[in-house]
Amino acid sequence: MTCIIIDDDKTAIDVLTKHCSKIENLYVKRTFLNPKLALKFLNNNKVDFIFLDLHMPKINGYSFINLIATPQKVIITTIDRDSAYRAFEYNCIVDYIEKPYTLERVLQSLRKIEKSISLSKVGNTIHDTHKDLYVELNKKFVKIPVAGIQFIKRHLNGIEIYTTRRSYFIKSSLNKVMQKLSPSMFIRTHQSYIINLTKITNIKNGMVLINQNKIPVSRSYKNHLTSRINIFK
């Protein structure tokens, strides 16, 4: 995704830019202290969304939105939560972030932007989607599409998330990651494994087969697994 940042406070721009640099597949095209220059930029350039400061001299955030020739998705940034109440009057405003920024709060807003973009592409048809996971790797937050997760394995010092493309090792626990996953799609089969029910290709001899990976099913989880799959006899 691409974005621009508009704020008359350079320190605020620097903090937000630093957070964005830690998020994979997010590119800040430009930053602007002057909203008039941002308007000129948008006349000739496309971005997926805008981080827009609400309190700026001459042109405030709401006035800026009214001046944009082509509607843009916006995340409002503000030091005053009370002044953000008007955001509900604008369909283009997806979220607002109160200063000072935290990386976690920025990630929450990005999930809303991604969902809004996806809905726009399918004509606002609502689908049963699941939130993506963001994991920290090499000081960057990498997005892992939940639909692509095949299974998750516990190790002594962390967990490994196996996807259709690659695996990701993170220092966490199965209990913590399970809280982030949809129970309609994921299930424990063993103390050391979580599987994606939609990825099962075979079940035999107390093992679940996902592609060429054999996942053990312990006795304590066997009944729960069989109750969740559609068995035809």
Predicted confidence at residue 66, as pLDDT, reads: 83
Comparing CA positions, the residue from 180, 173, 143, 142 lying closest to residue 157 is: 173
Torsion of CA 177, 180, 185, 191, to 10 degrees: 20
Least confident span in 48-52, 98-102, 180-184:
180-184
Q: What is the mean pLDDT of the chain?
A: 84
Sequence letter at residue 216: P
Global pTM?
0.57
Tens-place pLDDT, residues 65-118: 888 866 789 999 988 766 666 676 777 888 889 888 899 999 989 988 888 877
Q: Residue 18, class by beta-carbon neighbours within 10 Å (0-12 exposed, 13-18 middle, 19+ buried)?
A: exposed
Residues 40-64, mean pLDDT to the nearest whole number: 89
Contact, 110 vs 121, CB < 8 A? no
Tens-place pLDDT, residues 157-180: 899 999 988 999 988 888 888 878
Residue with tokens 């109750």: 227
Structural domains of the chain, ranges and CATH numbers in brackets: 2-121 (3.40.50.2300), 133-228 (2.40.50.1020)
Residues 117-141, mean pLDDT to the nearest whole number: 61
